[in-house]
Amino acid sequence: MLVSNITGSHTPDILDCLSNLSSDEVFTPPKIVAEMLDLLPQELWLNPEIKFLDPSVKSGVFLREIAKRLLEGLKEKIPNELERKEHIYKNMVFGMAITEITSLISRRSLYYTKNADNAEFSVVKMDKKDGNIIYKHTQHEYKDAKCVYCGAVKGVFDDNSLENHAYRFIHKEMKEEFRDMKFDVIVGNPPYQLSDGGHGASASPLYHRFVEQAKAMNPKYLTMIIPSRWFAGGKGLDSFRESMLNDKRIKELVDYPNASECFPGVEIKGGVCYFLWDKNHNGDCNVRTISNGTALLPMQRALNENDVFVRFNEAISILNKVKSKNEVTLDTQVSSRKPFGLPTNFKTITTKKIDGHYKIYGNKFIGYVNPVHIVKNNEWIDMYKVLISKAYGAGEGYPHQIIGKPFFVEPNSVCTETYLVAGYYDNIEKALNLEKYLKTKFVRFLISLIKSTQDMPSKTLIFVPKLDMKIEWSDKKLYERYALTKDEIAFIESMIKEML
């Protein structure tokens, strides 16, 4: 997939670069680029005064497709092909590469050579070697050990290294390039995340900074493809989510819940989406979802109908029926992380039962723990409880199980951070009914409207009603309670796997 995006003969240094690309430099497939550019008004391709910018060039595929469309669209206004190429490549198409590697690849893709001022090989002889695709090494500016522009953690990134991930577009140095230029259209696929120095592969989102910077440049149109995690917010995305949901200039939103349908062979938890921001639009957004190769029902709707963006249009009527009853929701009952103060890696346990010790459920183990280690929620210990995995992931496709199997546990038991306490009762019947309730497709469907990653904090249950657990709930009873239609029931059944 990578090599096919480079036009012309290859040089060894370019080929060597390909094996060094990071996960944030995954190239956008031409099919998706075409879909994104199709969102733009077609009259743009007929206007020789329009200027395009890709602020996160990787393979150059966006710029190449833009140039291709302009070469066709401007035939009447600039009939001479050489003059037309000169005008387009020198005056209309611009890019900022995210690394030196991608600058080389993208110049080969757009100009047919890495040296754009080479008259023999370049499609158009540019005035300088870089042409209009620039890359300059940029340094982070640290305050309290974090970059004030992108949040990079000092010590994680070496400013003296070749690739320090200080992306120029979102740093102050961006003002040095294209200083006097006004861009009409900004397009691209920005880097998605940046290591934050946390445990394991911990990373913080970065793509929202590109979107915000692009908006600040006030173009006529903006289209980018980004992870869909912003729908639910969290980890630095809450303010971005709020601004996006309330931005009435977002005219189109196309969502891929399974990212591999967009980027074959690539897993991005929560899927990806692309959008069209139109400076002069002020209204509802046309929302479309692509799932299993099928475009689901499109819908014009306000993005801020709920605090969390509901990605499936078919779910709106179901959710409205549930919310119309104004019932207390289950998130008010479910515990926070570390229900008893014990981390996932807690190991001070015994495998043999000891008088006075509590049974403990952890990550792939069941043992016994001394009561002295329990630091909170002691009043829950002698009650009947229902536990549910704090994290669960089993692929991105549908139908999906959505959550791990909830299970009932007896009094005198606790758990580590691996689980949340979904409910606690002095009555065994209520606990068993809660376990059955959480297993229903109806409940798991409502959770799926919030849950976009493996993690399952209590807020993922904000749409789930807290019902009377004296009743043994089933999907049939719940469908009747909320007066769901056959089509609404069929949609839930198509999205959620049976849980035995």
What is the per-residue pLDDT across 175-200, written as a single tens digit (0 to 9) for each? 566 666 799 999 999 999 876 555 44
Q: Are strands 272-278 and 221-227 parallel, antiparallel or unpaired?
A: antiparallel
Which residue ranges make up each domain of the chain?
Answer: 3-313, 330-495
Burial of 316 per CB tally in 10 Å (0-12, 13-18, 19+): middle
Buried b (16+ CB within 10 A) or exposed e, 271-294: bbbbbbbbeebeeebbbbbbbeee
369 with 358: CB under 8 angstroms? yes
486-495 and 441-448 are packed helices; what angle lies between their axes, rounded to 10 degrees?
Answer: 80
Q: Residue count of the chain, please give it.
A: 500
Query: pLDDT tens, 329-346?
Result: 999 999 988 999 999 989
- pLDDT, position 63: 96
Cβ-Cβ contacts under 8 Å for 328 (sequence gap 6 or more): 465, 466
pLDDT at 291 over 90: no
Question: CA–CA separation, 163 vs 157, rounded Å?
Answer: 9
pLDDT band at 458 (very low <50, low <70, confident <90, very high): confident
Question: CA–CA separation, 497 vs 332, rounded Å?
Answer: 26
Q: 184: alpha, beta or left, given left = phi > 0 and alpha = psi -120 to 50?
A: alpha
Amino acid at residue number 190: P
Buried b (16+ CB within 10 A) or exposed e, 235-247: eebeebbeebbee
114 with 126: CB under 8 angstroms? no
Q: Which structure tokens are listed for 67?
A: 């140039």
Cβ-Cβ contacts under 8 Å for 414 (sequence gap 6 or more): 339, 340, 342, 358, 359, 360, 361, 369, 374, 381
What integer best gives the mean pLDDT of the chain?
87
- pLDDT, position 295: 81
CA 158 to chain centre: 27
- pLDDT, position 160: 59
Question: CA–CA separation, 222 vs 187, rounded Å?
Answer: 6
Question: CA–CA separation, 323 vs 321, rounded Å?
Answer: 6
pLDDT at 499 over 90: no
Burial of 307 per CB tally in 10 Å (0-12, 13-18, 19+): middle
pLDDT at 108 over 60: yes
- pLDDT, position 287: 95
- pLDDT, position 281: 97
Return the bridge partners of 54, or none: 95
Q: Which of 90-94, 132-136, 275-279 has the lowest mean pLDDT?
A: 132-136
> What percent of the chain is predicted at pLDDT more than 70?
89
CA 270 to chain centre: 6
Task: Determine the average pLDDT of the residues in 426-443.
Answer: 97
- pLDDT, position 223: 98
Buried b (16+ CB within 10 A) or exposed e, 330-361: bbebbbeebbbebeeebeebeeeeeeebbbbb
Phi/psi of residue 301, nearest 5 degrees: -155, 160
- pLDDT, position 173: 54
- pLDDT, position 498: 92
pLDDT band at 5 (very low <50, low <70, confident <90, very high): very low
Using DSSP, state whether 228 is helix, strand or coil. helix
Burial of 480 per CB tally in 10 Å (0-12, 13-18, 19+): exposed
Query: pLDDT tens, 225-247?
Result: 999 989 877 777 889 999 999 99
Question: CA–CA separation, 470 vs 158, rounded Å?
Answer: 60
Task: Determine the average pLDDT of the residues in 45-62.
Answer: 95
CA 47 to chain centre: 34
- pLDDT, position 425: 96
- pLDDT, position 302: 92
- pLDDT, position 178: 65
Domain 3-313 listed as CATH 3.40.220.10 = no
31 with 61: CB under 8 angstroms? no
pLDDT at 167 over 60: yes
pLDDT band at 434 (very low <50, low <70, confident <90, very high): very high
Query: pLDDT tens, 469-497?
Result: 999 999 999 999 999 999 999 999 999 99
Q: Are strands 285-291 and 142-143 parallel, antiparallel or unpaired?
A: unpaired
Query: pLDDT tens, 292-313?
Result: 888 877 899 999 987 778 888 9
313 to each of 76, 289, 300, 318, how far by Cα in Å? 42, 8, 9, 10
Amino acid at residue number 199: H
pLDDT at 20 over 50: no
pLDDT at 135 over 70: yes
Return the bridge partners of 366, or none: 361
Burial of 380 per CB tally in 10 Å (0-12, 13-18, 19+): buried
pLDDT band at 154 (very low <50, low <70, confident <90, very high): confident
Top mean-pLDDT range of 74-78, 94-98, 193-197, 392-396: 74-78
Taking the CB of residue 317, how many other CB atoms lie within 10 A of it? 13
Helix (H) or strand (E) holding 414: strand 413-415
498 with 444: CB under 8 angstroms? no
